[in-house]
Amino acid sequence: MKALVASNGMTNASICRHLNLSAPKTLELINGLADAGILEQKEKGSSIGGRKPILNKLKSNTFFVLCVEVELFKVKMTIVDNTNLFIHTASSPFLLTKDWSAADQLKERIADFMAASGMNWSSILAIGISMPGLINKTDGRNHTYMANKWEEQPLQDFMATAFGKPVFIINDVKSAAIAELKFGLAEGRKDVLVILMDWGIGLGIIMDGKLRDGAAGFSGEMGHMPFVDEGILCYCGKKGCLETVASGVALAKMAKEGIQSGEDSLLNDLSEREIENIEPQLVIDAANRGDQYAINILSTTGEKLGKGIATLVQLFNPELIILGGKIAAANEYITIPIQQAINTYCMTQLKDIVTVERSRLGSDAGAKGIAHVTFERYFDGLIAHTNVHRG
């Protein structure tokens, strides 16, 4: 079942190889799923002589997972089926806090979304939650946001208890990297870096065609690389992190300071409340209207990001760098200074190998990545449970 969901269809022969079972036994399993009404069989393209191979696929709307994308100031939720079909999606305001106070609010947002979706909880296999922060890959504890004391429940267990469903929490950048690996520009590639440029800056590392988590799941904290000597204090508690000068937070800070110091900009038309809550998209919109100040601060952000990325190119020697997130929407205003910085700071042999591209998955990337991880971990849990009972 796990393989059928992950591959969105397999031939009889590939199922035999995957399960290491004989053809008659595999056929018995396939017929059982077909009789249950959850599997369909279709001819797979053309063949070189003989009968066309049959592709076994789970029918759409067979299994569902709830995907929750938590950001600093909003939460987006999507119900996704086993064929990556989006059933229902909605966003709502949300304030992500460092302490536990946001956990109950997130629980309420999830309950309200499910009630509005019209779908019964019994149809949902599991819940996948992506969010920024240091997330332990074993217990789902976020050490950065909605952090709880060690002796108390991690967020993953708290949500599982609240909804009576398996819950899997994954770092937002790793979710985006999985989406690129399975459905995007990294598909079929071996060595790729996925950089998510949102309020913070994160890195997904794909090596030898696999996402690399690190010992505890904390790999890819690019935004907290030391970058500025005696720089300003970062929220992580260290000074001079890359995020303090090249991120959505830094971009909003530069825009706000420019407006308040009297820079000539379209951003001056913003109300006092809008200035206080300025978002990267407002700066991007101004740049697209020819605002020179907005273009300049995007260029400054891109140059610093590019210098940080150049360090990663020297370390990992990737073939492809994929840029995603809110700031990637600035297109050439951000990609050109990034590329120029890579050209400036990288050895020729390394920079000549790597290409830099914007993600093509758009706003669907988050839910697609979460859904893939959630289905995979859910079925892994079933397999482990079955093996324990057999033992």
Sketch out the chain's domains with CATH numbers. Answer: 2-58 (1.10.10.10), 64-172 (3.30.420.40), 185-360 (3.30.420.40)
What pLDDT score was predicted for residue 85? 93
Over residues 145-175, the pLDDT tens digits come to 998 655 577 899 999 999 999 999 999 999 9
What mean pLDDT comes out for the span 255-277?
Answer: 85
Per the prediction, the chain carries an average pLDDT of: 88
Report the share of the chain in percent with pLDDT over 70: 87
What pLDDT score was predicted for residue 51? 61
Q: Length of the chain in residues, anyone?
A: 391
Over residues 106-150, the pLDDT tens digits come to 999 999 999 999 999 999 999 999 999 999 988 889 999 998 655
Q: What is the CA radius of gyration of the chain?
A: 23
Over residues 32-56, the pLDDT tens digits come to 666 666 767 776 655 555 566 777 7
Phi, psi of 17 (to 5 degrees): -65, -40
Q: Tokens for 283?
A: 């700066």
What mean pLDDT comes out for the span 292-320?
Answer: 96
What mean pLDDT comes out for the span 198-217?
Answer: 94
| Least reliable range by pLDDT among 126-130, 188-192, 278-282 | 278-282
Phi/psi zone of residue 230: left (φ > 0), alpha (ψ -120 to 50 degrees), beta?
left
What pLDDT score was predicted for residue 149? 58
What pLDDT score was predicted for residue 289? 94
Q: With cut-offs at 50, 70 and 90, classify the pLDDT of residue 390.
A: low
**Burial track 316-344 (b if 16+ CB lie within 10 A, e otherwise):** bebebbbbbbbbbbbeebbbbbbbebbee
Of residues 350 and 269, more confidence is placed in 350
What pLDDT score was predicted for residue 23? 72
Place of tokens 């969105």: 8
The Cα 184–Cα 386 span in angstroms is: 33
What pLDDT score was predicted for residue 274? 78
For residue 99, count CB atoms less than 10 angstroms from its CB and return exposed for 0-12, middle for 13-18, buried for 19 or more: exposed
What pLDDT score was predicted for residue 37? 65
The Cα 126–Cα 79 span in angstroms is: 10
Helix %, strand %, coil % of the chain (to 5): 45, 20, 35
What pLDDT score was predicted for residue 387? 57
The Cα 195–Cα 179 span in angstroms is: 13
What pLDDT score was predicted for residue 363? 86
Cα of 141 vs its chain's centroid, Å = 17
pLDDT above 60: residue 229: yes
Map residue 382 onto helix, strand or coil.
helix
Strand 74-81 vs strand 355-358: parallel, antiparallel, or unpaired? unpaired
Beta bridge partners, 114, equal none
pLDDT above 80: residue 30: no
What pLDDT score was predicted for residue 275? 80
Of residues 60 and 328, more confidence is placed in 328
Q: How far is CA 204 from CA 10, 207, 357, 361, in A?
A: 28, 10, 15, 15
Would you say 322 and 193 are in contact if contact means Cβ atoms under 8 Å apart? yes
Report the share of the chain in percent with pLDDT over 90: 66
Over residues 320-364, the pLDDT tens digits come to 999 999 999 999 999 999 999 999 999 999 999 999 999 999 888
